[in-house]
Structure 1
Amino acid sequence: YTYCQTLGSSEAYSRLSKHWDTWITEDDLHQIAAAGMNHVRIPIGYWSVIKDDNAPYVQGAYEFLGRALDWAAGAGLKVMIDLHGAPYSQNGFDNSGRRGGIGWGQGDSVTRTKNALNKIRDDMGNHSAVSTIELLNEPMGSSIGMDTVRQFYMDGWGNLRNTDLVVTFHDAFAGVNSWNGWGSGMWNLMLDTHHYEVFDSGVLQNDIGTHISSACAFGASMATNNKWTISGEWTGATTDCAQWLNGRGVGARYDGTYNYNGQSSSYIGSCDGKYSGTVAGLDATYRDNIGKFIEAQLDGYEKAAGWIFWTWKTEAAPEWDMQELLQNGVFPNPVTNRNHPGQCN
């Protein structure tokens, strides 16, 4: 929102179109398949699907989504199309398109979200690469109201029923077990839950053994749900050091620089090499710990219906960069390999 607002539509479109055209290539999809993955999750904002004349967003990404579907099919991959941002923001996070308040659920925001999903269904729902559409990324159920979220999910599921697609819905931060028993009579329904151990100062102080135990326990809880359940976002990171992870200009809890909405943090450790850098530049012990944490999560989440790592490629965030983690032997390659087997036994 503010990126396009600050640059103006012409300059924003120029920069973003270059990014869309160059950042993820057809070769990336083949690398993902070669490492043993079978799915990619592609996020897109509502403004790329249906034009919003009352917001500064620029369009253009939707056409590249279509190209990515063709590439995925050529690489033998399936795709989850993830509606990542909704009108007025469903969570107040920058990844919704606009950081700050949560306005989704008000006015015509839900209707416009459904319109975007219906257009994706009509344009791409029958593409051979598309296996599922995620109705909305990370709606903040406690702020929006869970009744509103559940009704939206039911309506969204119904609108997609003239396809054979699986309908994916996020747990709205209510936890996987809160959805047991919901959706009776609905089919082709999958629950997505996201697991990060970096957004809480207490959790950031955990040692690697505690992180591993937590990942295994989370995977076990996923497996008890009565629906197909995946962890559609997770990472190898055990710090929040990556540049702008918490938002532009916010800082990190880990090194005590966090400052947002009156909240601050105390120093836990250094962000050197993690704020910006490469996997090869991390010290050997930390690389090994990332590998252990990744493999614990793989083993845990595979007790349920699976996982999708966030993310494939970064500019300079080594803990989050699957491509670099694979190239440096930290992420198992192929993903069925284990350097640290049996951690969740």
Structure 2
Amino acid sequence: MKRQDGLKFDFGNTKIRGVNLGGWLVLEPWITPSIFEATPDNVVDEYTLCQTLGLSQAGSVLQSHWSSWITEGDFAEMAKYGLNFVRIPIGYWSVSPLAGEPYVQGAYDYLGRALDWADAQGIKVMIDLHGAPGSQNGFDNSGRRGDIDWTQGDTISQTHTALNKIRDDHASHPAVAAIELLNEPMGSSLDMDTVRQFYMDGWGSLDGSNVAVTFHDAFQGVNSWNDWGSGMWALMLDTHHYEVFDSGSLQMGVAEHLSTACSFGESMATNNKWTIAGEWSGAMTDCAQWLNGRGVGARYDGSMSGSSYIGSCDGKYSGTVSGLGAADYQNIKSFISAQISAFEKAAGWIFWCWKNEAAPEWHFQNLTAGGLVPQPLSSASGC
């Protein structure tokens, strides 16, 4: 159901145009490799960073990062570029820490500051619970890379505890227009009945909070949720569209990449819920250093175990937008414009991510400053 009563954003009539603040309050090695390059090879995520460095040293590293990676000035720049939304990933450990875990505390304080910064610029916020106890997907961006143990033991109730604290602390903030129940649960490795019940219970806890209750498609497919959620108002479906994480996508030419994005936008538009591409990028390769995990290579150049060479990662493994060649510049520019026009056939989009250290295909701030993102955003075309 799409009823809008009391919500802080006109989801039905205004397109979401946003960026993710990835790599800020939840570390990812590929977004800030400098933090990880100074550590042993076994440090592959925020958990092992804190575990290996210890409370004092990890605390110093993280406090320095949190205070400088995103500042009030970033929000002013986002507004200048026509963005009206930010999605802010946060881990359960920063909201409702569990005894015995090594995580450093303090990120949650910066979330509160960011809400005020956003509000001052007229930008709305989706608070995204990006990592759940036990890890919902085994990715480093869940806080702990490896096994998928979410749904085991008390992990679901612990996840609800974190969501309820976010609700109690921040749902009434004027900038908070949406709360995402959980980022990217790996549906193929989880019992989907359990995932659906978690979503239903999470919606029940947020009902009446005047936020759009956002849920990820759990990699079940963008059109797989139309028969679910009857009677649950203000539901928003978050689907993530990347064309780089399988060899078939990586072998596509530019025209096929654009066509695939356009078709995906058409599919999004057929859904009976507000549907956003809550993550996507300008990338047509998986070349960025550690994109697939620290110590894991790329499919594109065959450096990942089990993959075969498709093309060279020169200039894409690390680099800057200004260092892109003429062909890459034009191709990425066309791809970004097509995706914006595709996703705006539905409720809109949130780019991953605002900034990073050395992955030009993924750096919205620099892509926009470099002329690869349409300005104004409403001028996007291609689909």
Deviation track 1:295-331 (CA, whole Å, cap 9, x = no partner) reads 1110110000000000000011100000010011011
Please list, as runs of the form range in 1=range in 2, the aligned pairs for 1:187-198 lying within 5 A after superposition: 187-198=233-244
CA-CA distance at 1:94 after TM superposition:
0.6
Distance (whole Å) between structure 1 residues aligned to residue 218 and residue 201 of structure 2: 16
Alignment of structure 1 residues 95-106 onto 2, 5 Å: 95-106=141-152
Answer yes or no: is the 8 Å Cα contact 1:36–1:336 preserved in 2.
Answer: no
RMSD in angstroms over aligned alpha carbons?
0.8
Specify the alignment match of 1:166 in structure 2. 212
Distance 1:269 1:214 in 2: 20
TM alignment of 1:24-173, pairs within 5 A: 24-173=70-219
Alpha-carbon distance in structure 1 between the residues aligned to 2:327 and 2:242: 21
Structure 2: how far apart are the matches of 1:75 and 1:13?
30
* 2: CA distance, partners of 1:112 / 1:17: 25
Aligned-pair CA distance for 1:252: 0.8
Other-structure match for 2:335: 293
Match of residue 347 from structure 2: 305
Deviation of 1:157 (Å): 0.3
The counterpart of 1:17, out of the listed 57, 63, 73, is 63
Q: Secondary structure at the match of 2:178?
A: strand
* Equivalences for residues 245-264 of structure 1 within 5 A: 245-259=291-305, 264=306
Aligned to 2:222: 176
Q: Describe the SS at the equivalent of 1:37.
A: coil
For residues 277 and 97 of structure 2, the distance between their equivalents in structure 1, rounded to whole angstroms, comes to: 31
1:236 corresponds to which residue?
Answer: 282
1:185 maps to 231
Cα distance in 2 for residues equivalent to 1:129 and 1:77: 7
Measured in 2, the distance between the counterparts of 1:238 and 1:54 equals 41
- 1:73 and 1:186 map into 2 onto residues whose CA distance is 28
Partners of 1:34 and 1:334 within 8 A in 2: no
Report the AA paired with residue 326 of structure 2: A
Give the secondary-structure state (helix, strand or coil) at the position aligned to 2:322. coil
What TM-score does the superposition give when structure 1 sets the normalisation length?
A: 0.96
Deviation at 1:82, TM superposition (A): 0.1
For residue 191 of structure 1, give the secondary structure of its aligned residue in structure 2: strand
Q: In the alignment, what sits opposite 2:315?
A: 273
Task: Report if aligned partners of 1:170, 1:191 keep a CA contact under 8 Å in 2.
Answer: yes
Could you list the runs of 4 or more consecutive aligned residues of structure 1 that deviate by over 2 angstroms after TM superposition?
Answer: none
* Cα shift at 1:141: 1.2
Identity %: 69
Report the Cα offset of residue 58 of structure 1. 1.2
Paired residue type of 1:311: C
Q: Does 1:331 align with 2:362?
A: no
Shift of 1:55: 1.6
Deviations 1:119-148 (A, max 9, x none): 000000100000000000000112111101
3-state secondary structure, aligned to 2:351: coil
- Secondary structure in structure 2 of the residue aligned to 1:336: helix
Distance across 1 between alignment mates of 2:322 and 2:378 = 22
What residue ranges of structure 2 are gaps of 5+ in the alignment?
Answer: 1-46
Code of the residue aligned with 1:222 in structure 2: it is M
Structure with more relative contact order (C-alpha pairs < 8 Å, separation 6 or more): 2
Structure 1 residue 334: Cα displacement: 2.5
Q: CA deviation at 1:54?
A: 2.4
Displacement of 1:207 in angstroms is 0.3
SS of equivalent residue, structure 1 residue 119: helix
Q: Measure how far apart 1:3 and its partner are.
A: 1.0
Deviation at 1:236, TM superposition (A): 0.3
Tell me the CA shift for residue 202 of structure 1.
Answer: 1.7
In 1, distance between residues paired with 2:185 and 2:100?
22
The alignment's TM-score, normalised by the length of structure 2, stands at: 0.87
- Taking the aligned partners of 1:163 and 1:227, their CA distance within structure 2 comes to 18
CA–CA separation in structure 2 for the residues paired with 1:227 and 1:161: 16
In the alignment of these two chains, the number of paired residues is: 337
Distance apart, 1:181 and its partner CA = 1.7
1:28-59 Cα offsets, whole Å, 9 max, x none, are: 11111111110000000000001211221111
